[in-house]
Amino acid sequence: MPRISIGVPFHNVEEYLPQCLDSIFRQTFTDFEVIMVDDGSTDGSFEICQKYVAKDSRFKLFHQENGGVAKARNNCLRHMTGDFIAWVDSDDWIEDDYFERLIRTQERIGADMVCIGIKTFMNNEFYMGSHQDKYGAFPGHVIPKKIGMSDVFWGIYALISVWGNIMDAKLYKGVVFSEGIALDDQGNKFKLFLQSKKIVGIPELGYVYRIRSGSITQDGAANFENIFEGKVMQITNLEKFMYYIENANYEVDYFHSLYSEWLDKQLQSVDSGWDDDQQERYRSFVLKHRKLFKKRLVKRG
C-alpha cells in the first residue's frame, strides 16, 4: 500500500501533460501511486500517459467516456489505495520536493489535511500568491476548521481547491464528487472539511497553478453568458454547502452570516460594461436567491 495516491484526471491536454507527469516522476518522496483517468480525450493525451505506465509501475492509467472532471475524480477514487490522497490537475505541475514537504509536515504534526501555498503561472510569467503568508498567522500553522471552510466564499487562503494538499484517505470515506457540475472543487471540498479534525497550512509555495486560455475557469471571463452561467453554478454550490452545514449543525449562524454577506457583495459587483438588460438579469437572479435564503432563515428561527 503506497503512502500517497495521486489523482490526475485529464482531457485533451497533450500540450501540458508531460510537464505535469514529469514533475510527479521527479518527486524526492517516492512512496506513491499515480492514478490517471482519461476523460474521453481525442488528442494524444492517452498515448502520453501510456509512456509513463510503461516506464514506471507506480503510474496506472484508466479510460472513461467523456463525462467531466468530477466523474473522472470518482473514477480515480475507486482505484486509490494510499494512506493519503492528493490531486494534481493535468495542466499544472509541482515542485520536486512538494510531497516531501507535505508528508513530513503531516508526520510531525499529525494533521489529516496539510495544505501548501500556490504560485500562479499565466502568459509565461509566475505570480506569487500571498495566501501562504497568511498561514503563518495561525498558531502552529493550524487552521481552524470553520476558517478553512469559509474559504468557499472568499478564497483568502486558497483552500477550496482539491489540489495543493494531501488528505487522510479516511476523509474520503462515503464522499462522492457531484458529477455534471462546473466548479467541482467548490461544490465538493467542504465535505472533506466537515470530517477533518486538524488542518495545517505550510507557509511556503509548492504547487504551480496554470491559468490558460480555453480552461474551464478562464472561459467564464469571456462574455456575459459565461459569467452568468458561472454565477448560477457558484450559488448552486453554495446553497448545497449551506444545506450540508445545516444538516451537520456546524457553526450554522456563522455561515448564515457569511452567505448573507456574500450575496450582498454580489449585488455590488455588477459589471458596468454590461447593458441594462444584462445588469437587470444578473441582479434579479441574485436578489431572488437572497430573498429565498432570508425566507429560509425566518422559517428556521
pLDDT in tens, the chain (301 residues): 999 999 999 999 999 999 999 999 999 999 999 999 999 999 999 999 999 999 999 999 999 999 999 999 999 999 999 999 999 999 999 999 999 999 999 999 999 999 999 999 988 888 877 677 888 889 999 999 999 999 999 888 889 899 999 999 999 999 999 887 767 777 889 999 999 999 999 999 999 999 976 554 444 345 888 888 888 999 999 999 999 999 999 999 999 999 999 999 999 888 878 889 999 999 999 999 999 999 888 887 6
204 three-state secondary structure: strand
Among 98, 113, 123, 100, smallest CA distance to 205 is for 98
Alpha helices in the chain (DSSP H): 17-25, 45-55, 69-79, 98-109, 131-135, 145-154, 189-195, 216-219, 224-248, 252-268, 276-300
- Give all domains of the chain, ordered by start, each with its CATH number: 4-216 (3.90.550.10), 222-300 (no CATH)
Amino acid at the residue 232: V
Among 206, 230, 201, smallest CA distance to 92 is for 206
What is the rounded CA–CA span in Å between residue 264 and residue 256?
12
Among 15, 211, 219, smallest CA distance to 126 is for 211
| Cell numbers given for 230 | 458561472
8-state DSSP, 16: T
Q: How many residues does the chain have?
A: 301
pTM of the model: 0.91
